[in-house]
Chain A
Amino acid sequence: MRDRRLLLLAALVACGVGAHFAAGLNPYYYDVLVGVGINLILAASLNLVNGHTGQFSLGHAGFMAVGAYASAWLTLRAGGGSTLVFVLALLAGGAAAGLAGLAVGLPSLRLRGDYLAIVTLGFNEIIRGVIGNCEALGAQRGLGGMLRHTDLFWTFTGAILTVYVVTSLVGSTYGRGFLAVRDDEIAAEAVGIGTTKYKVLAFVVAAFFAGIAGGLYAHFKQYINPEGFNFFRSMDIVVMVILGGMGSTAGVCVAAALLTVLPEGLRWVSHLASLPAWLQHVAENRMILYSLLLIVLMLTRPQGLFGPRTARAHDRP
Chain B
Amino acid sequence: MIEFLQQLINGLGQGSIYALIALGYTMVYGVLRFINFAHGDVYMLGAFAGLYVAPWTLRLFGGGPSFAGAAAVLLLAMAVCAAAGVAIEWLCYRPLRHRPRLNVLITAIGVSLFLENAGQSVFGADPKSFPEIIADRALDLPASWGPFAMLTITVGQLLVVGVTLVLLVGLRHVVRRTRLGLAMRALAFNPGAASLMGVNNGVVIAFTFGLGSALAGAAGILTSIQQSSIDPLMGVNAGLKAFVAAVLGGIGSLPGAALGGVLIGLLEALVVGYISPTYRDPIVFAVLIVILLVKPTGLLGGTEREKV
Contact = CB atoms under 8 A, between A and B. Distances in A.
Contact of B114 (A111, A121, A190, A288): A288
Contacts of B121: 285, 288
Contacts of A118: 243-244, 247, 288, 292
Interface in B282-304: 282-283, 285-286, 288-289, 292-293, 296-298
Contact of A287 (B92, B109, B113): B113
Interface in B83-115: 92, 95-96, 98-103, 105-107, 109-114
Interface string A57-79: 00000000000000000000000
B144 interface: no
For chain B, what secondary structure do more than half of its interface residues adopt (helix, strand, loop), or is it mixed?
A: helix
A132 B35 CA distance: 28
Contacts of A285: 117-118, 121
A302 B96 contact: yes
B191 interface: yes
A302 B282 contact: no
A84 interface: no
For chain A, what secondary structure do more than half of its interface residues adopt (helix, strand, loop), or is it mixed?
A: helix
Interface string A26-40: 000000000000000
Contacts of A128: 281-282
Contact of B278 (A133, A238, A291): A133
B98 A317 contact: yes
B58 interface: no
A13 interface: no
A130 B99 CA distance: 38
A292 B298 CA distance: 34
Given A295-B92, A311-B99, A107 B278 contact: no
B308 interface: yes
B286 A122 contact: yes
Contact of B110 (A115, A294, A317): A294
Contact of A312 (B35, B100, B191): B100
Nearest to A186: B308
Contacts of A290: 113, 117
A235 B117 CA distance: 16
Interface stretch (A156-164, A170-178, A196-204, A239-247): A239-247
A111 B296 contact: yes
A299 interface: yes
Contacts of A227: none
B272 to A, nearest CB: 13
A256 to B, nearest CB: 15
Given A118-B243, A294-B110, A242 B117 contact: no
A298 interface: yes
